[in-house]
A and B are shown apart, each in its own frame.
Chain A
Amino acid sequence: MRGNIYIYILVMAGVTYLIRMLPLVLSRREIKNVHVRSFLYYVPYACLAAMTFPAILSAPGSLLAGAVGFAAALVAAYFEKSLLTVAVVACCAVFIAERVIAFLP
């Protein structure tokens, strides 16, 4: 990893910048195609959902704690709490779950 970490960063930053820059500099028209627009609309939801689950289950020390954190975050997010609040709720739930699990036989 040591040798090429900066190349990884260069690739990440380069691709991300090009995606943002090219339409701003080149385009003078709006995308009209409804399927293309819909696809771009759904992209963040599909990608964030895929990254979140099941990864959240194995992020803490135990699967059970991960599941508790997931459930707590779902409830907080359902009630439309801010990003920061949902994150804090999830962290606290995992923290409490791990303390409880430590006492189980």
Chain B
Amino acid sequence: MIIEARKVFKSFKAVQAVKGISLNIAQGQFVALLGPNGAGKTTMVEMIEGIQKPDKGEILIAGKNWKGNEDELHHLIGLSLQETYFIDKLTVQETLRLFASFYGEKKGRVAEVIQLINLEEKKKSYVVNLSGGQRQRLALGIALLNHPNVLILDEPTTGLDPNARRDIWRILLELKKQSNTSLLLTTHYMEEAEQLCDYVIIMDNGSILKEGTVEQLLNDDNGSKTVEFTLDGIYESIDSDGMLPKIHWNQTSQQGMVLLNDIEKDMKAFLALLERNKLRLKNIEIRRKSLDDLFTSLTGKHLDE
């Protein structure tokens, strides 16, 4: 295991940010920490990065504790923080060269990374003049400078438009193909976790709700389907009468969601329920369950809330 965390706790004043999280990441494995804002993802990764110290529990990188091994571990890890501004009036190339010098990397590595993150046209531009996506790619490039064994990215695509997001994904997928780097990524985009990661850990409120491969998470109840629907009229809640899995009714958007395990049988029961309560369907959509649905079924809220 390249990263091992055992029962890690961390509190800030009154807030318990991380409540006993354990996780293991194997060499070459891509892992996502998926959860809404405030779930404790950033605190968790910052403890793994050595930026914060856990109150309780143990974190090992390549079998080593942070204490006394900082220099060695800094060489193993590449990271990007949730938000970093670099020096405004340095160019892309100069910024990479500066960070390359911290790792003792050769000059050639800077050119390699610029190519890797696809910023050749911008290599002489000041950092301040880069777009959001380009800046994130630069942050990723800096994280990759030292050929890290572990790459830790904290929300690398938050706030980016879909194209810029896909650019980042492409770089990471290429990395997965070409190297044996492990990735720990935090995100609240379930699509990102699905696209990039072999293993997903769903977090909320400082704890792990559920974890597994994407397939495991989505199929663990026999290929269940998601039914989303809207109704005529305005309702506070819809009760499933105990005949069906719980119906999640969003009062603000006036939308309902229910996970049906056996679509043939449960669909009949669902329609019967509507008829019995004199509820008239306005719209209905049946689709494969997503991580977002799973999260909603676990917590009653959406990932991006």
The answer on A and B forming one complex is no
